[in-house]
Structure 1
Amino acid sequence: MMTKSIIGKWHGLRQGSVGHRTVADILTGSSFLANMSVTHTYEHIFNKMVSALEWHPDYNLVLIGSRGGDISLVDLKNRTVKLCHRGGGRGQQITDIKCDLLDTNWYYTSSTSGKIIKQRLDGRDEIILKDTYISDEFYSSSRFSCIDVCPQRKLLVAGDSRGTIHLMPSCESESLVNSKTNCFSIGVHNSNILHTEFNKFNSDLFITASIDCTAKLWDTRMFSSHCSKPLLNIRHSHPLNSATFSLVNGSTLLITNYFDEISVYRGPNWQLERCIKHCHEQTQRFCLLKAKWHPLCELFLIGTFSSNPSVSGHYYDRPQAVDVIDPQNGQIKSSLSDGNPGVISISQFNTSGDIIAAIKGQNLIIFESIDSD
């Protein structure tokens, strides 16, 4: 049943093969990884570190945002970089980017400036969905850390630095956005929410992960400004970077903590299946290291880092890898690196699963599966 669902999903993405790879290669999870290597590096795209990355539904396009608030569109086919939005500099960090799947000319961003914005790729138009800036006091009451969008419900969820969840329409019109009755906020965590995500197979469910060491599962039908009781409250011993549902079946949940553990839970009861030990220590020098799923098979990838020199060396003078891991047994299927010093802080497969976009400082690195012929 799982294989049929994967192939069905695959058929809607591209016909026949993934670049040089067949569906069988992707399902086995070994052949395409064995031949992955760096095909191009886009250097110093911004004058500040890259802080967010999202693949566009067109598998050749990547959106990236910086700590200065800049947003650019990278075209892998033509190897061009186009500035979509000029940021304001300090205090404007782009914390998350999501594409509008109903109209791929638009995308959404969250930032530490306290704004949730829907913008056009050509930079000609934008709609501010949420703005917490208090003009009289010259500061933002909330810094947004993460967002996700559910196209089926036309709903956007955002998490902020105070542990508050904001639910709002993903915006059909300005008048709908400006209507306060269509947007509400409620505190659900004791500290910064670093990740929120809808379940792609059940649009009623979304999850939040926080620095307060908890991940909470919510049902939108039971969620209101007067009630905030989660379906499930998962407590850990360390702060959490992310909680993400499998893109293959929606019933496997990965929770990444701040330090050295990735927990695997299985639905529908969301019981802990295993804990995978993996070095991905958090430091303010680079962005959160989060596990990200492959879109067509149950593999995930995450960058590596340890502050212990005996484990990984000093990150600034020694190459660090991004690991592709099998959640069934915790086995590392492949470790990818460009061979240059530094930590790969953000990494993500494209929609067809044969290309990885990875961030190292101000650089975007592209890994592709290439035939060895």
Structure 2
Amino acid sequence: MKEKRQKENLLSRRVLRSRTAALSSTQNFNEKVPTEKLPDEKPKPTASSTKRSLQKSATDINENTWKTPEGFKPPNIPAVNPFGLNSCNMVHRLHHASLSISQGNRLKQAVVQPYIQQLVNFRIHSTASPFDRRVTALEWHPTLPKTLAVASKSGDMVMWNYKNAAKFDFNKGVGKGGAITNMTFDLMEPSGVYTSSNEGTVCRHCLGQDGNRQVFLNTHNMEHWYCSLSVNYARNLLIAGDNSGNLTMLDRKDGKALWTRRLHKSKATHCEFNSRCDWLLATASTDNTVKIWDLRMMTDRKSALFVLNHKKPINSAYFSPDSTRLLTTDQNGELRIYAAPLWDRMERSIAHPHRFFQHLTPIKATWHPLHDLVVVGRYPDENFPGYREGEKRSIDVFDANTGEMVCQLLDPSVSGIASLNKFSPSGDSLASGMGYNILIWKDIVKLQQILSEKSRRNHDDDNSEDSRAPQPRIPGPAPRRRRRRNNDDDDDIGAMKKRLKGKLGKR
């Protein structure tokens, strides 16, 4: 037993040998053995000593780090009051943007607010009633700012310059059953207009030359007609939709049909190319859908990029002027705005009464050419949510960014429903189709200021002409002195002559 205990003690000594011995055995004999020095134990700091050290370190940091250089002046931070934050003034908005506290929507509102204040002053400037049936289409001239083309249910078309209200360039239609369903100017030659009609034709008319037209499509059937069309100038294409949901693609120059496909289940009420992306096409139909297409991949009804389902049939689907939004109008009481690039994302929905009626031109909402505004005619409905008794048939303008109504145009002299409303390319005029009538809205206050300024200038010109009339000259002091000097010179010459004569006589 004793021998076993001695062996165990020897083994434990070998294993539990000191650190210095282990290190000395692994290193060479001529190297020094490393030794570890334990840190000296310091006295634990008391509360008073730690407080003094913290105070000292803080003062040292303030003295070294936050020491202001000589001649440094702290910047004056402008104060921002709550009124300034809610203001839509452009100066306030730009100031807040410089302070990085401005919002994008506020800045957009500041841009559009001056125009809305001008829009409130819009009143009827000119009217015309050249047709015997209601207006079905209208379009502003692309280069003449005061000229527009208007078409009627009987197929008649006029080119009208509202500055000369009594003069029209009239194109006679076929009469009953020949309604113009859609029209657009030829941007390459603005004297021409492309039209689709209930007659079953797609044509190009030369306005001002009655009977001069080029027929692209003709069904020769009054029960099969064309409802919409659009032109793509970048690809020289023209597309037309009919009342069965078929769309026909044509060559714009020679009118040759490229293909015809049934892309909707029922009437194709609207089609439009995107002006920025020439391969993008939007079509609307009474099958409660709006479809977005890629021209390069159009094969059948299932090849649409996006299908935008609605609750009611669709009257129109217009791209915004910057081509980044799509505005749709249904046949009941909803306006929708979809945003690019994912066109199936609905950005905003606006409740608005504009129900469909058989003997009324379908109401279509359109964009303002310069601002994010939407204009649409109102058809009051007692069953519509939010109806107020005595509601007027006004023209409503909405802010596309907020969905709020910013203005209502109403004139007591007219009481009809404005189905079609379009701003001029400059945005200073609004054309409306109201039954048989064409209305032009303008800023009356601005026009009165212009007329008063012109009359004042004419009055000043008349006064200046009166002041320029010939009047008797009254010689001033300078001419008198000059005349006296001349007389003195003459007297001196005469005296010299007399002296010379006297001298010669003496000789």
TM-score grouping bracket, smaller chain normalisation: 0.7 to 0.9
- Please state if 1:192 is matched with 2:267: yes
Question: Map of 1:97-176 to 2, 5 A cutoff?
Answer: 97-123=183-209, 125-133=212-220, 139-140=221-222, 142-171=224-253, 176=254
Q: Is the CA contact (8 Å cut-off) linking 1:27 and 1:296 kept in structure 2?
A: no
Higher Cα radius of gyration: 2
Decide whether aligned partners of structure 1 residues 28 and 164 sit closer, same or farther in structure 2, where only a CA change above 3 A counts.
Answer: farther
Q: Is the CA contact (8 Å cut-off) linking 1:26 and 1:296 kept in structure 2?
A: no
Cα distance in structure 2, aligned partners of 1:233 and 1:195: 15
Aligned equivalent of 2:378, options 295, 304, 307: 304
Q: Which moved more, 1:187-196 or 1:32-41?
A: 32-41
* Greater helix content: 2
Decide whether aligned partners of structure 1 residues 264 and 309 sit closer, same or farther in structure 2, where only a CA change above 3 A counts.
Answer: closer
Q: Is the CA contact (8 Å cut-off) linking 2:262 and 2:301 kept in structure 1?
A: no
1:159-185 Cα distance to aligned partner (Å, 9 max, x none): 1110111111222xxxx32x4xx4321
- Please state if 1:33 is matched with 2:106: no
In the other structure, the counterpart of 2:18 is none
Cα distance in structure 2, aligned partners of 1:25 and 1:80: 37
Question: Map of 1:5-24 to 2, 5 A cutoff?
Answer: none
Question: Map of 1:1-373 to 2, 5 A cutoff?
Answer: 28-42=114-128, 44-57=129-142, 58-123=144-209, 125-133=212-220, 139-140=221-222, 142-171=224-253, 176-177=254-255, 179=256, 182-224=257-299, 229-247=303-321, 249-270=322-343, 271-308=345-382, 311=387, 319-339=392-412, 340-372=414-446, 373=449
Cα distance in structure 1, aligned partners of 2:395 and 2:298: 37
Shift of 1:369: 2.2
Q: What amino acid is the match of 2:269? A: L
Cα distance in structure 2, aligned partners of 1:332 and 1:324: 6
Q: Which moved more, 1:73-82 or 1:32-41?
A: 73-82
Decide whether aligned partners of structure 1 residues 40 and 227 sit closer, same or farther in structure 2, where only a CA change above 3 A counts.
Answer: closer
Cα distance in structure 1, aligned partners of 2:173 and 2:139: 18
Cα distance in structure 2, aligned partners of 1:313 and 1:132: 47
Q: Which moved more, 1:191-200 or 1:215-224?
A: 215-224
Cα distance in structure 1, aligned partners of 2:230 and 2:408: 28
SS at match of 1:364: strand
The higher-RCO structure (CA 8 Å, 6+ apart) is 1
Q: What amino acid is the match of 2:248? A: H
Cα distance in structure 2, aligned partners of 1:204 and 1:361: 36
1:91-143 Cα distance to aligned partner (Å, 9 max, x none): 1001111000011111111100110000112225211011111xxxxx24621
Cα RMSD over matched residues?
A: 2.1
* Unmatched tracts of structure 2, length 5 or more: 1-109, 450-507
Q: What amino acid is the match of 2:348? A: R
Identity fraction in percent:
31
Cα distance in structure 2, aligned partners of 1:313 and 1:188: 43
Cα distance in structure 1, aligned partners of 2:170 and 2:202: 16
Shift of 1:277: 0.6
SS at match of 1:365: strand
Question: Normalising by structure 2, what TM-score?
Answer: 0.62
Cα distance in structure 1, aligned partners of 2:231 and 2:388: 36
SS at match of 2:118: helix
1:38-67 Cα distance to aligned partner (Å, 9 max, x none): 11111x310111111111112211111111
SS at match of 1:302: strand
Decide whether aligned partners of structure 1 residues 141 and 169 sit closer, same or farther in structure 2, where only a CA change above 3 A counts.
Answer: farther
Q: Is the CA contact (8 Å cut-off) linking 1:169 and 1:183 kept in structure 2?
A: yes
Cα distance in structure 2, aligned partners of 1:292 and 1:227: 27
SS at match of 1:30: helix
1:292-323 Cα distance to aligned partner (Å, 9 max, x none): 00111111101011342883779xxx851111
Q: Is the CA contact (8 Å cut-off) linking 1:260 and 1:281 kept in structure 2?
A: yes
Decide whether aligned partners of structure 1 residues 72 and 313 sit closer, same or farther in structure 2, where only a CA change above 3 A counts.
Answer: farther
Q: What amino acid is the match of 2:319? A: F
Question: Normalising by structure 1, what TM-score?
Answer: 0.84
Cα distance in structure 2, aligned partners of 1:342 and 1:329: 28
Number of equivalences: 332
Q: What amino acid is the match of 2:350? A: I
Q: Structure 1 residue runs of 4+, over 4 Å off? A: 24-28
Cα distance in structure 2, aligned partners of 1:81 and 1:189: 42
* Greater strand content: 1
In the other structure, the counterpart of 1:136 is none
